[in-house]
Chain A
Amino acid sequence: MLALIIRRLVLGLVSLWAISVLVFSATEILPGDVATAILGNQTTEEARAALIAELGLDRPAHERYLAWLDGLFRGDLGTSLATETPVARIVSLRITNTLVLAVATAILAVPLSLGLGLLAAAYPNSLFDKSLTVGSLLVISLPEFVVGLLLALLLAVRLKLLPAVVTSPDFTSLTGLLRALALPALTLLASVQAHMIRMTRAAVLDTMRRPYIEMALLKGASKGRIILRHALPNALAPIVNVVALNLGYLVSGVVIVEVVFTYPGLGRLMVDAVSARDIPIVQATAMIFCAVYVFLTLAADVVTVLTNPRLRHAK
Chain B
Amino acid sequence: MSDATGNAPAVPSLASTKRVRRKLTLFGAIGIALLGVNLACALFGSFLAPHPPGDINPGGAFAPPSGTALLGTDYLSRDLFSRLLDGARFSIGVAGLATCIGFLVGMSIGFTAAEIRGRLDMAVTWAVDVLLSFPPILLALLVIAGLGTSLPVLIGTIAFIQSPRVARVARAVALGIAALEFVEVARARGESLASILIREIFPSAVRPLAVEFGLRLSYAVLFMSSLSFLGLGIQPPDADWGGMVRENLPGLYYGALASIVPGVMIGLLVLGINLTVDWLSAGADAQMSEELR
Which residues of chain B come closer than 8 Å to A274, judged between CB atoms?
141, 144-145, 232
* Bound-state Cα–Cα, A19 to B139, Å: 9
Instruction: Report the stretch among A69-77, A87-95, A148-156, A233-241 that lies at the interface.
Output: A148-156
Instruction: Name the interface size band of chain B.
Output: 35 or more
> Looking across the interface, which residue of chain B has its beta carbon closest to that of A22?
B142
* Bound-state Cα–Cα, A137 to B3, Å: 10
Task: Indicate if the CB atoms of A149 and B135 lie closer than 8 Å.
Answer: no
B199 CB → nearest A CB, Å: 35
Which residues of chain B come closer than 8 Å to A256, judged between CB atoms?
137, 226, 229-230
Instruction: Report the stretch among A45-53, A58-66, A207-215, A288-296 that lies at the interface.
Output: A288-296
The yes or no answer to B194 lying at the interface (CB within 8 A) is: no
> Looking across the interface, which residue of chain B has its beta carbon closest to that of A191?
B1
Partner of A11, one of B130, B137, B260: B130
Task: Indicate if the CB atoms of A143 and B222 lie closer than 8 Å.
Answer: yes
Task: Indicate if the CB atoms of B252 and A141 lie closer than 8 Å.
Answer: no
> Looking across the interface, which residue of chain B has its beta carbon closest to that of A136?
B6
Instruction: Report the stretch among A112-120, A216-224, A247-255 that lies at the interface.
Output: A247-255
SS of B interface (majority): helix
Task: Indicate if the CB atoms of B6 and A137 lie closer than 8 Å.
Answer: yes
A217 CB → nearest B CB, Å: 23
The yes or no answer to A12 lying at the interface (CB within 8 A) is: yes
**Listed residue (B4, B6, B242, B253) with the most chain A CB atoms within 10 angstroms of its CB:** B6
The yes or no answer to B176 lying at the interface (CB within 8 A) is: no
The yes or no answer to B271 lying at the interface (CB within 8 A) is: yes
Which residues of chain A come closer than 8 Å to B218, judged between CB atoms?
141
A50 CB → nearest B CB, Å: 25
Size of A's binding interface in residues, CB under 8 A: 60
How many cross-chain pairs have Cβ atoms below 8 Å apart between A and B?
150
Given contacts A149-B245, A164-B253, contact A138 B226 (CB under 8 A): no
* Bound-state Cα–Cα, A259 to B232, Å: 12
Task: Indicate if the CB atoms of A29 and B147 lie closer than 8 Å.
Answer: yes
* Bound-state Cα–Cα, A271 to B137, Å: 10
Given contacts A134-B7, A146-B263, A252-B137, contact A286 B229 (CB under 8 A): no
B152 CB → nearest A CB, Å: 13
Task: Indicate if the CB atoms of A271 and B1 lie closer than 8 Å.
Answer: no
The yes or no answer to A297 lying at the interface (CB within 8 A) is: yes
Task: Indicate if the CB atoms of B142 and A23 lie closer than 8 Å.
Answer: yes
A290 CB → nearest B CB, Å: 6
* Bound-state Cα–Cα, A259 to B218, Å: 22
Which residues of chain A come closer than 8 Å to B249, judged between CB atoms?
149
Task: Indicate if the CB atoms of A248 and B255 lie closer than 8 Å.
Answer: no
* Bound-state Cα–Cα, A271 to B249, Å: 17
Task: Indicate if the CB atoms of A145 and B134 lie closer than 8 Å.
Answer: no
Which residues of chain B come closer than 8 Å to A252, judged between CB atoms?
135-138
Given contacts A143-B263, A146-B266, A271-B230, contact A286 B141 (CB under 8 A): yes
Task: Indicate if the CB atoms of B130 and A15 lie closer than 8 Å.
Answer: yes
* Bound-state Cα–Cα, A12 to B130, Å: 8
Which residues of chain B come closer than 8 Å to A18, judged between CB atoms?
130
Which residues of chain A come closer than 8 Å to B225, judged between CB atoms?
143
Within 8 A of A (CB), among B112-143: 126, 129-130, 133-139, 141-143
Which residues of chain A come closer than 8 Å to B133, judged between CB atoms?
11-12, 15, 19, 293-294, 297
* Bound-state Cα–Cα, A145 to B7, Å: 25
Given contacts A142-B263, A143-B263, A146-B266, contact A289 B135 (CB under 8 A): yes
Partner of B4, one of A12, A26, A27, A137: A137
The yes or no answer to B148 lying at the interface (CB within 8 A) is: yes
The yes or no answer to A133 lying at the interface (CB within 8 A) is: yes
Given contacts A11-B129, A294-B133, contact A289 B138 (CB under 8 A): yes
A-B CB contact pairs (8 Å), 16 listed:
A11-B130, A15-B130, A25-B146, A134-B7, A137-B274, A141-B218, A142-B266, A142-B267, A143-B229, A143-B266, A149-B245, A149-B249, A252-B136, A260-B229, A274-B145, A293-B134
4 tightest A-B CB contacts, nearest first: A146-B263, A137-B6, A15-B133, A142-B267
Given contacts A11-B130, A12-B133, A15-B133, 7 further A-B contacts (CB under 8 A): A26-B142, A142-B270, A143-B267, A149-B260, A195-B1, A259-B229, A286-B138
Residues of B at the A interface (CB closer than 8 Å) are 1, 3-4, 6-7, 126, 129-130, 133-139, 141-148, 218, 222, 225-226, 229-232, 242, 245, 249, 252-253, 255, 259-260, 263-264, 266-268, 270-271, 274
